[in-house]
Amino acid sequence: MADLNSLEDTYTLSNGVEIPIVGFGTWQTPDGEVAKQSVKTAIEAGYRHIDTAAAYGNEDSVGEGIKASGIKRDDLFLTTKLWNDDHGYDSTIKAMDHSLKELDVDYVDLYLIHWPNPVKFRDNWQEVNAETWRAMEDLLESGKTRAIGVSNFRGEHLNELMQTANVTPMVNQIFLNPSDLQPDVVDYNNEYNILSEAYSPLGTGKIFQVPELQEMAKRYNKSVAQLVLRWSLQLGFLPLPKSVHADRIKENTQLFDFEISDDDMKTIDGLHGVAGLATDPDTTDF
C-alpha cells in the first residue's frame, strides 16, 4: 500500500509510471463553465490527478480548467478513455488524436478502453478488443500516452485480451465502493499487478444514506465521503471522487489525518448491495 500522507503520494504502475493515489472524477460533470471551474478548483485544492473520458463530452472544458489552474502539464496526471463506437485499430488511433485535440495537450498519462463489450461489437468483441489493444500498445510506444489500461473489464474480458497482448493493462477502472467490492475482479487485478481504480467510490451519492456509515463517520469526526474514500485507500484502491461544489471538492481531499480500525474496515466491507451494484458489461445497451 502507498504511503497515505497526501494527494501527491503515488502508486507505481507496472511500467514504473507513478500515479497519484486519489483522482478527481468528471463523469456527469456538465461541459462548459461547470467542468472548467470544478477542475480548476480541484487542482487548487491539491488534486494532481484528473480523470475524464471521450464519452463524458467535457474533454475540452477539462483542458480549459487545467490551463486556467496555471499548473504545469508535467505536474499533472491526466486520464481519458476510448468510447465504445471507436474500438478497432484505426478508430482507436483517431479517437486518441481527437481526445488530445479536445484536451489541448500533447499526451495523456493514462488511456483506457472504457467498456469491454459494446453493443456495436458484441458478436466479435474478442477480436475487436485485440485490435484495439494493439493500437493502445502503439500509442504507448509513440508517447501519446504514458500508460494504458481498461475499464469495466471482468476476468473473462481480461483473459481474452491477454491471449494477444504484449503489454498487460496497468489499470482496471471499475465500479468499486462498499456496496460492491467486486472481489473476483479485484483478485484478478492483484494477480496481474493491475491497479484497481474505483469509479463511483461514493456509490453515485447513495452511500450517504447508509445508517452504519453515518454513525461511523460521526465517531471519526469525518463526513461519510471522507470515511469511504479513506476505506478505499486503505484497501489499496485508487478512488476517483467527483463533485462540482468547491466545499465538497476540498472536503474530499482531507483523508490523511485519520485511520479506520480493522473492525470498522470489516463492517464497511460487509455493506454489499446498500448503494447499487456494478453494471454487467455483457448486457449493456451501449
Residues 6+ apart with CB under 8 A from 217: 223, 224, 226, 227
Grid coordinates in use for 117?
A: 463489450
Q: How far apart are CA 267 and CA 286, in angstroms?
A: 35
Could you tell me how many helices (H) and strands (E) the chain has, helices first?
Answer: 10, 10
Instruction: Using only the alpha carbons of the chain, give its radius of gyration.
Output: 18
Dihedral of CA 86/11/167/282: which sign?
negative
Angle between helix 211-220 and helix 262-269 axes, rounded to 10 deg: 160
Residues 6+ apart with CB under 8 A from 3: 9
Grid coordinates in use for 232?
A: 478505499
Grid coordinates in use for 58?
A: 467535457
Q: How far apart are CA 152 and CA 150, in angstroms?
A: 7
Residues classed as catalytic: 56
